Amino acid sequence: MSLQRGRAFADDAETLIDRSIFSDPVLHRQELARVFARSWLFLAHESQFTKPGDFFTTYMGADPVIVTRQRDGSYKVVLNSCRHRGMRVCRYDSGNAKAFTCPYHGWSYGTDGALLSVPEEEAAYGDGLDHSAWGLAAVPRVETYKGLVFGTWDTEIPPLTEYLGDFTYYLDALVDLDGEGTTAAAGVHRWRMRGNWKLGAEQFAGDMYHAYSTHLSALIAEAPHSKGIRPPEEGFQVGLPGGHGLGGYPGYPYWHAQGFSAEVEDWIGNMLERAAERLGPARTTGAVFIHGTAFPNLSLLWNRWTLRVWHPKGPDAMEVHSWSILPKNAPPAVRRALLLDYQRHFSASGTWEQDDAEQWNYSTSGSDGFVTASLPLHYGMGVGRGPNKDFPEFPGTVDTVYSEINQRHFYRRWSELMAVPHPAEKAAPETPAAQSPTSETPVTESAKAVIA
């Protein structure tokens, strides 16, 4: 089996995955450029910012960035790396700032990235330092969708809503259910695990199949308060163009199985009824969306009111950032109950989360061996099966609940992007250009865009 570099599939039928994509360091460097620098990446929830200068630090791929609310209410996202020696100019998780002053030599940048001042500038540089050319690299495009802030380095990518496409039909069933929107609970859960980031992203995109095996212990332990309420036998997976995917079940009163008080259960039930009047029953009372991924690395759990990002940390590790996104005008008791339900099951200490991390750890590490790595993995579930006609209103390609259609969509999109080198890639470490001190490094158009 020979790998065509940059293609996830090991066969023409696109049912086998070459597992080097989970461990190869060269492919990893390439995907930072070809996938992450070419996609819309989730950054933050708008409710994390209340006033100008409020900032939040995160990552786009492996690049550290600072998201800041501007005076006009818009968001500016800049690379968290000083243009002088590359020092991280902001080392706080969040806060409020008028400027970011580099601790190393003191270059100071506005929250929009503009270089404001340089210590001893006259003595150090005379008039030789062009401030306009040495600001923090600004992410060229930042857009929001119903409270969710995204950024991309790609100047030619379609607008965010077009990029998300029909995923918004489903996303609205989390962030726009009752028309009052969501706010994030304070704080972000962040933790690192061994395992390639794609294993998390693809599982959330399309893997209902793992639930009863991976999460068996949690299911047994919570059986006493789940009142025998279980999902119906037949559910769905929906694969969408652009590599997005999600899965769930026809409507069932899942919120009665989570040990909530009657007050909380009533509120959720009533809210879904109101949502059904606004959005129609198909994606409210008629369906329970469970898991989903917006390509490449934003994942959601609708029934747990949470979303998360899988940040790559090298080919064999990831860092999860996870939020609790709650209905804005829900009573405090409801927000509290939903927050705890998410936290106890899907944070780093969560009883469901723990067992996923175990799978990703040892799925990735298995790819290290020569013979192991040469054996492709089976992604053929549901191939050749006709569409699932039970959900006629759902946009996308609908299959039954146990299907790998979404994983195949995900890796088709990944392969498309990986097939085209990024113009700025020649600067990547695996191909160090031999340079004499006088040679000029060519700067590509897109690299210029990045540092403009």
Nearer to ligand FES, 101 or 397 (CB): 101
Site string for ligand FES, 47-86 (x = CB under 6 A): -----------------------------------x-xx-
Q: Contact at 8 Å (CB) between 281 and 288?
A: no
Return the beta strands (E) in 253-337 as ranges.
287-294, 298-301, 306-312, 317-327
Of 131, 274, 344, 412, which lies in the binding site for other proteins, with binding defined by CB under 8 A? 344
Q: Is 207 a residue of the active site? A: yes
- Token pair, residue 179, equals 């028309």
DSSP letter at 259 equals -
Report 39-58 residues binding other proteins (CB under 8 A). Answer: none
Name the phi and psi angles at 290, rounded to 5.
-105, -70
- Site mask, other proteins, residues 212-231, x = CB under 8 A? --x-xxx-xxx---------
Q: Are 36 and 443 in contact (CB under 8 A)?
A: no
Q: Is 378 a catalytic residue?
A: no
Q: For residue 378, give the nearest of 411, 421, 348, 356 by alpha carbon.
A: 411
Token digits of residue 239: 């694969």
- Tokens, residue 289: 């969306």
Q: How far is the CB of 122 from ligand FES (least distance, A)?
A: 16
If the CB atoms of residues 88 and 426 are measured against ligand FES, the closer one turns out to be 88
For residues 25 and 106, which CB has a smaller minimum distance to ligand FES in the complex? 106
The piece of 88-96, 379-387, 420-428, 443-451 that touches other proteins (CB under 8 A) is 88-96
Question: If binding is defined by CB under 8 A, does position 91 make contact with other proteins?
Answer: yes
Name residues contacting ligand FES, limited to 98-127 (CB under 6 A). Answer: 102, 104-107
Choose among 330, 311, 336, 333: nearest CA to 321.
311
Nearer to Fe ion (CB atom), residue 27 or residue 211: 211
Q: Looking at 54, 207, 341, 399, which residue is catalytic?
A: 207
The one segment of 13-21, 99-107, 149-157, 186-194 that binds other proteins by CB under 8 A: 186-194
Whether 409 is a known active-site residue: answer no
Instruction: Take residue 231 and report the two structure tokens written for it.
Output: 């999902």
CA 435/CA 426 separation, integer angstroms: 13
- Minimum Å distance from CB 326 to other proteins? 8
Phi, psi torsion values for 47, nearest 5 degrees: -70, -10
Among residues 417, 443, 427, 423, the alpha carbon closest in space to that of 31 is found at 417
CB 229, min distance to other proteins, A = 17
Among 87, 282, 383, 427, binds ligand FES (CB under 6 A): 87
Of 70-78, 172-180, 336-344, 416-424: span binding other proteins (CB under 8 A): 336-344
Which residue type is seen at 89? V
Piece of the chain touching other proteins by CB under 8 A; list 101-109, 160-168, 209-217, 288-296: 209-217
Q: Cα–Cα distance between 73 and 96 in angstroms, integer?
A: 14
End-to-end CA distance of the chain, in Å?
43
Q: Is 192 one of the binding residues for other proteins (CB under 8 A)?
A: yes
How many residues sit in the footprint of other proteins (CB under 8 A)? 45
CA-closest candidate to residue 346, choices 240, 161, 211: 211
Judge whether 356 counts as a catalytic residue. yes
Q: Which is nearer to other proteins, 56 or 410 (CB)?
A: 56
Q: Are 294 and 246 in contact (CB under 8 A)?
A: no
210 is an active site residue? yes
Tell me how many residues contact ligand FES (CB under 6 A). 9
Strand partners, 209: none
Interacting residue ranges for Fe ion, rule: CB under 5 A? 356
Q: Which of 351, 380, 423, 451 binds other proteins (CB under 8 A)?
A: 351
**Stretch touching other proteins by CB under 8 A, among 9-17, 71-79, 89-97, 268-276:** 89-97
CB 111 within 8 A of CB 99: yes
d(CA 125, CA 190): 41
Give the nearest residue (CB) to Fe ion: 356
Q: For the residues of 188-257, what is the DSSP string, one character each?
A: -EEEEEES-HHHHHHHHHH--TTHHHHTHHHHHHHGGGTTT----S--EEEE-TTS-EEEEEE---GGGG
Q: How far is CA 198 from the centre of its chain?
A: 10
| 361 part of the interface to other proteins, by CB under 8 A | yes
Near other proteins by CB under 8 A: residue from 126, 128, 228, 332: 332
| Beta-bridge mates of residue 75 | 69
Q: Which does 188 bind (CB under 5 to 8 A by kind): ligand FES, Fe ion, other proteins, none?
A: other proteins
Binding residues vs other proteins (CB under 8 A):
91-96, 185-195, 214, 216-218, 220-222, 319, 324, 326, 332, 335-336, 339-340, 343-344, 347-349, 351, 353-355, 357-359, 361
What positions carry a catalytic annotation? 105, 207, 210, 215, 356
Binding residues vs ligand FES (CB under 6 A):
82, 84-85, 87, 102, 104-107
